[in-house]
Each structure stands twice: as C-alpha cells, then as structure tokens.
Amino acid sequence: MSLLEIVEFPHPVLKQAAESVDGLNQAIEKLIQDMTDTMYHAPGLGLAANQVGVPKKIAVIDVSTAEEPRNTIVIVNPRIVEISKEAEKAEEGCLSVPDLRTEVERALKVTVEGVDLKGNELKITGEDLLARVLQHEIDHLNGTLFIDRIGRLKRGRYVRQRKKALAGEKR
C-alpha cells in the first residue's frame, strides 16, 4: 500500500484536462491501487488521477456506506454519454478543495462509459449520490473543480481565504 499526496487548490494540475490512457500496464495498475488506498485513507467517495498529480483519465469511486462492504469502481477514460434533465442541489466537498462544503447542482442520473481495470468496456448508470460522484470526478478529469460550479461571490470568497491561508503557511 502506497498513499499518494493529494494536491490542493490552487495547484495547476487541477485545472488541466487529463490525457486519455492508451493501454493498461503495471504502472497504471499500481497507480490505480495507490489511488484506491489513498481514497479510502483520506477518506473520500472518489478520487481522480489529477488529484494526485497525474493528469491521466482515471477515477476511483466508492459510495458504499460504512455498514456495507467496499464496492470500488475503477473507470479509465470515463465520459458521460447520457445525462438526465432532472437535477438537484446538494452539499459537496472535495479532497483537493480543503475547508469548503457547499451546495452544487448536479444531474440526478448519468450514464458513463469507459474501461475497467482489465481493459473491458464499462457502462455505468448512476443515480443520486453515485451520479453526483461520477460527475464530480469526471469534472476533475476535464480540469473543472466543484468551485467552478458555484456562485461567483462564494467562489471569490473561498479563493481569497485560501490564498490568505497559504500565505500564512509560507511565513
């Protein structure tokens, strides 16, 4: 088990669109295992590769509860192929955006295609929390943070607070 460092806003890799994975190999498999270990350790519901400084289209997700067995979903090169018109606002947080939880509007249902850890085609239809996490992680892979989906004033306040906090750490 190797835990990876989760990069935090305003790290530039978080705004970078990730590159497609052209083939699975041992290095990618190790990255996926390390991302999974890191997600559970953090703890989080999902983790995109660029959150650990690797701009590759890989996401790991698990929305199971503490009472349920782990159900890790690995998606390589994910893309949303269907999205419902019905949406709702719900609170989100992000391992790369510390000290902020706020409401974000997301579609209630999405269908995502990609490949699994073995390179097999994968199609997942997620509703509610799974739909939200799929959208959140795919946003990461496209260089979009959840703070890009909130109001300008709230985002501006967070950015100022974050810059002030980081300036204080450098002293």
Residues annotated as catalytic are 137
Residues 65/94/153/86 CA torsion (nearest 10 deg) = -50
Dihedral sign computed on CA atoms, order 59, 63, 67, 69 = negative
Question: From CA 79, how far away is CA 7, in angstroms rounded?
Answer: 23
Residues 28/48/35/154 CA torsion (nearest 10 deg) = 160
Tokens of 13: 């890799």
